[in-house]
Amino acid sequence: MGFMHRFDCDSCGHQLELDGLGGERGFNVKVESCLCVRCDDVVDVVREYYSDYPVSVNDSKINYCPLCSNPDVVPWREPYKCPKCDGPMRGGECAIGLWD
């Protein structure tokens, strides 16, 4: 089960809701919150699919930005900086939701 986290930038107002902070696992997928160099935003990137049953998976979705399909993504780590203005992001301490 994964946790959803919310971040807010007090400097520019940018908001993020992320499912893969630090690498989160659900029943069939592992996601990680990453900075996409092309989109200049933080997105949840599929890192791995797994299952006890055969699953048809499009490998082009693994390790790529889900918005622009760019493979140039880097894990988003502390200190959490806003991808838009480089200001500090606040939040993320408490989960705002759960997912599988």
Q: Is it the case that residue 60 has pLDDT exceeding 80?
A: no
pLDDT band with cut points at 50, 70 and 90 for residue 71: very high
Give pLDDT tens digits for 75-97: 999 999 999 999 999 987 666 65
Tens-digit pLDDT profile for residues 17-57:
998 787 877 777 889 999 999 999 999 999 988 777 665 66
Contacts of 6 (CB under 8 A, 6+ apart): 15, 16, 17, 18, 91, 92, 96
